[in-house]
Amino acid sequence: MPIVVKNLTHVYMPGTPFESVALRDVNWKVEDGEFWGLIGHTGSGKSTLIQHLNGLLKPTSGEVIVDGVNLSDRGVNLREIRQKVGLVFQYPEHQLFEETVEKDVAFGPRNLGLPEDEIARRVKEAIELVGLKYDEIKDRSPFELSGGQMRRVAIAGVLAMKPKVLILDEPTVGLDPRGRDEILGQIVEFRKKQNMTVILVSHSMEDIAKLVDKIAVMHKGRMVDSGTPKQIFKNYEALASMGLDIPQVTHLMIKLKNRGKDVATDVMTVEEAEAEVLKAARRKGHA
Amino acid sequence: MAAEILAEGVCYQYSRSSQMALKDVNLRIGKGEFVAIIGPNGSGKSTLAKLFNGLFVPTKGRVTVDGLDTRDRENVWKIRQKAGMVFQNPDNQIVATVVEEDVAFGPENLGVPPEEIRRRVDEALEIVELKDYAQKPPHQLSGGQKQRVAIAGILAMRPEYIIMDEPTAMLDPVGRKEVINTVKRLNREEGKTIVLITHFMEEAVQADRIIVMSEGRVLMEGSPREIFSKVDELKTIGLDVPQVTELAHRLKGRGLAVRSDVLTIDEMVECLCPLL
């Protein structure tokens, strides 16, 4: 179920004194099963872009085509599109509202008009996919859970709709390191199990570098770059000028290279850096 | 009178909980220090912060601010004026529709005379570098700017201590840098004592001293170098270390002659250059 974005422009409040162009001529193709990271400074247009992918916003001009369907066409069943393209907003736990975890996660599938036994099955599966124990948690109030657990319940609510594409907007913001690693680990797991396409919006290059296949960079409403993480991080100077960081170890390798050391600079994780430094040190007989 | 915040044998239990959120905590925050408190969620960091300015009073033990006991109701206002708090969400802390009115809110409540309020507001906005925004509506500001308005509001009350409970958790990297630079300036140039609670290790690295909380207790205390050289212990309780610190630790484990207390990229470059 590929998503194709063609010449997408979006203007907020056109024709008013508050008119502002949020997206300018964006072109993007997301293939089945890909894992994308979408990065950019606040106000770069990331959130506006993802809200077009399930029809929450309509293009001012250009097209968004999901699974062959142009979302601007008359008579498009947006409900069906939103079931296929699940969107998890920032702080999704603010959207929890039911008395129990089970009811909250069941809300989406129930709105789809599914039979009760199917709803029950999906709810259980979704809760387990986010790494929570169904029997222990199903009857608890979502509001007495920890921040990380609440967020996972909110994600389960979207997973229970069985989307083909899952978009997560800053899923780890405000969590402690363990909570962050748990959520990211679960995303990797359920992506594999459900064979989903995932788009992760994040400010954390270190997280993105570890997880995704491809990165798209937004800047001032334009998609200025896209490619594999290694390709993207090569342009570290351009990224820095847009207020974006690269992983610390990537930065380290670039600085070593600039000092004339024979090391590869396309390193993104601590493990890769360790291997690279050891290799270079061995050549000099220091390890 | 001692110029310090002192926690002695402090225990705290939330009324609806069966467990102690803090267990026998003993700490001293000296005047002029910049102290970072780190620890996983539920370790008691925020509870401790709220005890420091008398928002909570200890279930057992005592907290004193410049010698004033927080359990004594008569001290509450004096303590809150001495120890200001900045919270996570800037939107919950801003009350007025114009930046300078928001900053004036605190001193107005303290009954400061109008001309003195004017002076303090100007000075506070100058310190957080938002003078040009004095007349703006706060909702037009970025997250980092809003959080600096919140800090200016606290500064206008002229506190000695500023306690910050994850002030950067909801900000993007640029907003985080803005706020942390402001915090450093408050400490180095204005002489304010800073207690910074954070999940971001690159922020904690900037402090003079780090306190590590775990399960309601003080697990470790020391300089950033001392604390971050304990990579394995920090990881066990679910905390991060900076990538270069972890790299140094691993390389040392593989027999390479590197220091294990590396905190920054540049230190790591200097450390590795002779070996490569």
**3-class DSSP string for B219-244:** EEEECHHHHHCCHHHHHHCCCCCCHH
Point out the residue among B169, B174, B255 whose CB comes nearest to the CB of A243: B174
Residue A107 has pLDDT above 90, yes or no: yes
Which among A174, A252, A287 has CB closest to B269? A252
Residue A82 lies in a domain: no
- Does the residue B157 lie in any domain? yes
Q: What percent of chain A has pLDDT over 70?
A: 100
Residues of chain B with pLDDT > 70, as a percent, come to 100
How far does the CA of residue B187 sit from the closest CA of chain A (Å)? 25
Shortest Cα–Cα distance, B90 to chain A (Å): 13
The answer, yes or no, to whether residue A210 has pLDDT greater than 90, is no
Short-list A198, A176, A203, CA closest to A187: A198
Closest chain B residue to A273, measured at CA: B247
**Which of A41, A173, A274 lies at the smallest CB-CB distance from B251?**
A274
**B46 and B120 inside one domain:** yes
Is there a single domain that holds both residue A46 and residue A157?
Answer: no
Residue-wise pLDDT for A11-42, tens only, equals: 999 988 888 999 999 999 999 999 999 999 88
Lowest mean pLDDT among A45-59, A233-247, A268-282, B58-72: A233-247
Determine, yes or no, domain membership for A88.
Answer: no
Specify if B46 maps to a domain: yes
ipTM: 0.81
What's the total number of domains in chain A?
3
pLDDT tens column, B34-62: 999 999 988 999 999 999 999 999 999 99
**Interatomic CA distance for residues B231 and B203, integer angstroms:** 17
Q: Residue A255 is nearest to which of B166, B246, B265, comparing CB atoms?
A: B265
B1 band by pLDDT with thresholds 50, 70 and 90:
low
User: What are the tens digits of pLDDT across the range B7-37?
Assistant: 999 999 998 888 899 999 999 999 999 999 9
Domain membership of residue B67 (yes or no) is: yes
Query: Is A171 in the same domain as A217?
Result: yes
- Tell me the mean pLDDT in the region A141-170: 92
Find the closest chain B residue to A244 by CA distance.
B173
pLDDT digits over B247-256, tens only?
Answer: 999 999 999 9
- Residue B17 within a domain: yes
For residues A151-158, give the mean pLDDT: 94
CATH number of the domain encompassing residue B77: 3.40.50.300
Q: Does residue A177 fall inside a structural domain?
A: yes
Do B36 and B113 sit in the same domain of this protein? Answer: yes
Confidence of residue B267 (pLDDT cuts 50, 70, 90): very high
Distance from CA of B114 to the nearest CA of A (A): 36
**pLDDT, position B41:** 85
Residues B15 and B49 in one domain: yes
The predicted-structure confidence for B95-130, as pLDDT tens digits, reads as follows: 899 999 999 999 999 899 999 999 999 999 999 999
Nearest CA in chain A to B242: A248
A44, A218, A248: best mutation site toward chain B, by most B Cβ within 10 Å? A248
Are the Cβ atoms of A281 and B275 closer than 8 angstroms?
Answer: yes
B54 assigned to some structural domain: yes
Nearest CA in chain A to B265: A252
A241 in any annotated domain: no
Structural domain count of chain B: 2
Using the Cβ of A195 and the Cβ atoms of chain B, whether some distance falls under 8 Å is answered with no
Q: Where in the sequence is the domain holding A123, given as residue range(s)? A: 98-161
Task: Examine the domain organization and report whether B162 and B270 are in the same domain.
Answer: no
- Residue-averaged pLDDT of chain B: 93
Q: Which domain holds residue B271?
A: 242-276
Q: Is B212 in the same domain as B250?
A: no
Helix/strand/coil (H/E/C) assignment for every residue in chain A: CCEEEEEEEEEECCCCCCCEEEEEEEEEEECCCCEEEEEECCCCCHHHHHHHHCCCCCCCEEEEEECCEECCCCCCCHHHHHHHEEEECCCHHHHCCCCCHHHHHHHHHHHCCCCHHHHHHHHHHHHHHCCCCHHHHCCCCHHHCCHHHHHHHHHHHHHCCCCCEEEEECCCCCCCHHHHHHHHHHHHHHHHHHCCEEEEECCCHHHHHHHCCEEEEEECCEEEEEECHHHHHHCHHHHHHCCCCCCHHHHHHHHHHHCCCCCCCCCCCHHHHHHHHHHHHHHCCCC
Q: Flag if B254 and A256 touch (Cβ within 8 Å).
A: no
Beta-carbon neighbour count of residue B125 at 10 Å?
A: 23
Q: Are residues B172 and B247 in the same domain?
A: no
Is A237 a domain residue? no
* B244/A256 Cβ within 8 A: no
> Across the interface, which of B173, B199, B247 has its CB nearest the CB of A274?
B247
